Structure 1
Amino acid sequence: MSKVTSALVIGGGIAGPVTALALAKAGIRATVHEAHDSAADGVGAMLSLAPNGLDALRIVGADEVVRGVGQQVPGVVMADGAGTRLAEFGGFPGLPPTLAMPRAALFRALADHAVAAGVRIEYGKRLISAEETPEGVTATFADGTTATADVLIGADGIRSTVRTLIDPGAPGPEYGGVLSFGGYAGDGGVRAEPGVMYFAFGRTFIGYWRLPDGRICWFASLPRTEALTYAEVVRVPAAEWLARLRDLYSGHVPGEKLLAGTDPGDLMITGPMERMPSVPHWHRGRMVLVGDAAHAPSSSSGQGASLAAESAVELARCLRDLPAPEAFAVFERLRRPRVEMIGGDAAAKNKAKAGQAGERPAMPTPEQMFAPVHKHHIHWDAPVTA
């Protein structure tokens, strides 16, 4: 197969626009095809972008627009359920601070930036099939239209259609044993310094930080053996979920106060915590996966968006220097060990949140936890070889 000059990118969330931007930087023309009718406005709750994710976005010129919608939270405090501080961390010198933001704001910022940079994004394009020929790959969408390019890149998330086209036997997302919630609370006497993310462990876990308006945003988990879909979770009244969370966090410092200070209308329901198990096949022929379609690590990692940005840039770098499918194989070799290490760590955290972890191992220092993740850097200008 000759050098790639054009690409169809399926999915307009995080990985899609970043992949298109990186491909453009590599001299490859890409069009993003998104199933929804807009850039997922209002979809999802909060997320964070770590220094490694921001470093990847810097390569494609998208870091500043993301800073415009994010809140800096460079500090980390770890405590136990009684409120005793266990460790503190202020970030690594020379690295940008972690940003917290609404998922929908990140989607919109990346989509708008990509369009301003000349990337074409077509909405209402739900992929149903793809056919390869010696000359390229043609995608067919639910509205009856088609599009053709040299390669097709599946950036279509944890329930990827492209993943099943590459491998009909590919695994789907794996339930992590907990339902995830977030919310906004009044102060309630909880200490929360601006710019610091707090992680309070114990019989259960809650994380939180102070917003610029003075409220506290928190995220927590409710163990449940049997999985529920997101649709099933949202059918239960928010007041009922809040009551269950308050019961679970009774006696937890500061969880009890945060939940007591949260109204049902301020509860964010994110549904079952899921991750992708190891995906055997990331690519086939002219098709390849990127982002959550290949390696969604669950929100316990705090790395889903950052890893998606990293992989988008690394894939474009490989396609810049190598023909497909050789570029796809090198891309997978470069990325699989890192994303599976982070995903495995997140799976262990999910077990702890679900009360399935057994004896808790000694807690590493924050520097030990974050250094191999946050300090990752992609050398864009370095040539990629087989």
Structure 2
Amino acid sequence: MDGITKALIIGGGIAGPVTAMALQRAGIEATVFEAYDGPATDVGGMLTVAPNGLAALDIVGAAAAVRAAGRPLHSMVMETGSGRQLMRVDTLPGLEPSCLIARAELFRVLYEQAVASGIRIEHGKRLVSVDERADGVVAHFADGSSAAGDILIGADGIHSTVRTLVDPAAPGPEYTGLMSFGFGDFDSATGISGDVDTMHFAFGKRSFYGYWRQPDGSDAFFSNFPQAEPMTLAQAKAVPAAEWLAKLRASHVGDTPGERLFAETSVEQMLVAGPMERMPHVPNWYRDRLVLVGDAVHAPSSSSGQGASLAIESAVELARCLRDFADPTAAFAAYEGLRRERVQAISDQAAKTNNGKTSGSIAKFFFGLVMPIATRTFLQPEKMFGPVHRFRVDWDAKACD
């Protein structure tokens, strides 16, 4: 075999287009197959692309467009529900700030960058099965069409179809015990004090929440609402918005400025983002000529602030390995070896953060007492974020060295 020359990528969200662009740079043709009929322009709320994610996007030439579509986030402030500051984390020395961007905007930018690079993205292609041969694969879609390639890459998100093809016994996403809600374009007479490049995260008395000032002077905020019973996004959206808003208002009574924010907002400004989920450790990342990338294999909860960045890193690392190994099994093994420990450690740390978000009022009280001491000792920003944010994919190095 002379090497891998053609890849089929299932999923056109974040990991799919980035993988395609990275493969193109590696000299491998890739086509992206997306289940939806068009680009996703109305999905999700805000997310951050951290310095490590932006560095990986630089490799495929997409970082400048992402920076232009978002805005820099220079500082994060952790607070108690009463508004008392526990910790401030500024951009680490020598690094650029994270980029705060709407998920739909990130999808749009990556889609446009991929298309501008000459990558073909086909819509309305919901994968139903894959035929595997000694020298390649054939993907079959719900519309009756099919496509052939040397390998198939599952970039189809946390509810991945490809993951079940790689391993029918693979675990599915794990509910964190939190439901997520976002609010945007909120304009009150008093407004939120602070700079537009700072996000505030508060351990409210009953629910964790965050808030920030937008460049146009309006405010945005979110809530991670504890709910023991899991619920799908469709089920959450079926609940009357007024009912959710009443629950959120009750959960933030006594919070500063949370109580006022949730009291003054309206259902028209509310986004039901649904359950916060994470992928537990996936035993098998690949099988034969099928491999997983991004949220399909290592989705941390949004508490990590690294979901998009890790997906982008993995997309570039996978392309690097496919560039340097003629045999797909060897390439996939090298890719997993480069990624598994890092992504699992970040995901596990985010799970611990989620436990703090769902803890009771007494636990949060003691957390508020201990946190200021911890931030002066072992919870220093460089120790907490340095290994994550300073990571760089070494594209020019051989993956097989």
TM-score (norm 1): 0.96
Deviation at 1:351, TM superposition (A): 1.7
* Contact preservation (8 Å) 2:208, 2:225: no
Deviation at 1:13, TM superposition (A): 0.2
| 2:179 maps to 1:179 | yes
CA distance in 1, matches of 2:100, 2:272: 17
CA distance in 2, matches of 1:341, 1:212: 34
* Contact preservation (8 Å) 1:223, 1:355: no
Give the equivalent residue in structure 1 for 2:113.
Answer: 113
Give the equivalent residue in structure 2 for 1:326.
Answer: 330
1:245 to 243, 248, 259: 248
* Contact preservation (8 Å) 2:10, 2:32: yes
| 2:311 maps to 1:308 | yes
| 2:63 maps to 1:87 | no
Which shifted more, 210-219 or 265-274? 210-219
* Contact preservation (8 Å) 2:203, 2:357: no
Deviation at 1:190, TM superposition (A): 2.9
CA distance in 2, matches of 1:366, 1:200: 17
CA distance in 1, matches of 2:24, 2:73: 31
Deviation at 1:113, TM superposition (A): 0.5
Paired amino acid for 1:376: F
Give the equivalent residue in structure 2 for 1:385.
Answer: 400
Q: Deviations over 1:257-303 (max 9, x none)?
A: 22123111101110011010001100000000000000010111111
Give the equivalent residue in structure 2 for 1:352.
Answer: 356
CA distance in 2, matches of 1:218, 1:344: 25
1:239 is paired with a residue of what secondary structure? helix
1:278 is paired with a residue of what secondary structure? coil
Paired amino acid for 2:399: V
Paired amino acid for 2:198: V
* Contact preservation (8 Å) 1:76, 1:199: yes
Q: 1:100 to 1:222 in 2, by over 3 A?
A: same
> Which structure 2 residues correspond to residues 195-274 of structure 1 after superposition, within 5 A?
195-203=197-205, 204-274=207-277
Give the equivalent residue in structure 2 for 1:39.
Answer: 39
CA distance in 2, matches of 1:261, 1:58: 41
Give the equivalent residue in structure 2 for 1:374.
Answer: 389
Deviation at 1:154, TM superposition (A): 0.2
CA distance in 2, matches of 1:310, 1:12: 16
Identity %: 55
Give the equivalent residue in structure 2 for 1:150.
Answer: 150
Paired amino acid for 2:197: G
CA distance in 1, matches of 2:10, 2:138: 12
Q: 1:205 to 1:365 in 2, by over 3 A?
A: farther
Deviation at 1:167, TM superposition (A): 0.3
Paired amino acid for 1:197: M
1:193 to 167, 190, 195: 195
CA distance in 2, matches of 1:300, 1:230: 18
Give the equivalent residue in structure 1 for 2:8.
Answer: 8
CA distance in 2, matches of 1:160, 1:55: 26
1:342 is paired with a residue of what secondary structure? helix
**How many residues are paired up?**
386
CA distance in 2, matches of 1:303, 1:338: 11
Give the equivalent residue in structure 2 for 1:165.
Answer: 165
* Contact preservation (8 Å) 1:136, 1:150: yes
Deviation at 1:202, TM superposition (A): 4.2
Q: 1:189 to 1:34 in 2, by over 3 A?
A: closer
Q: 1:192 to 1:268 in 2, by over 3 A?
A: farther
* Contact preservation (8 Å) 2:211, 2:220: yes
Deviation at 1:369, TM superposition (A): 2.1
- Structure 1 residue runs of 5 or longer lacking an equivalent are none
Paired amino acid for 2:393: I
> Which structure 2 residues correspond to residues 282-297 of structure 1 after superposition, within 5 A?
282-297=285-300
TM-score (norm 2): 0.93
CA distance in 2, matches of 1:48, 1:114: 20
Q: Deviations over 1:3-35 (max 9, x none)?
A: 211100000000000000000000101000000
2:328 is paired with a residue of what secondary structure? coil
Paired amino acid for 1:349: T
* Contact preservation (8 Å) 2:34, 2:126: yes
CA distance in 1, matches of 2:386, 2:265: 34
2:225 is paired with a residue of what secondary structure? strand
Deviation at 1:232, TM superposition (A): 1.1
1:164 is paired with a residue of what secondary structure? helix
* Contact preservation (8 Å) 1:81, 1:201: yes
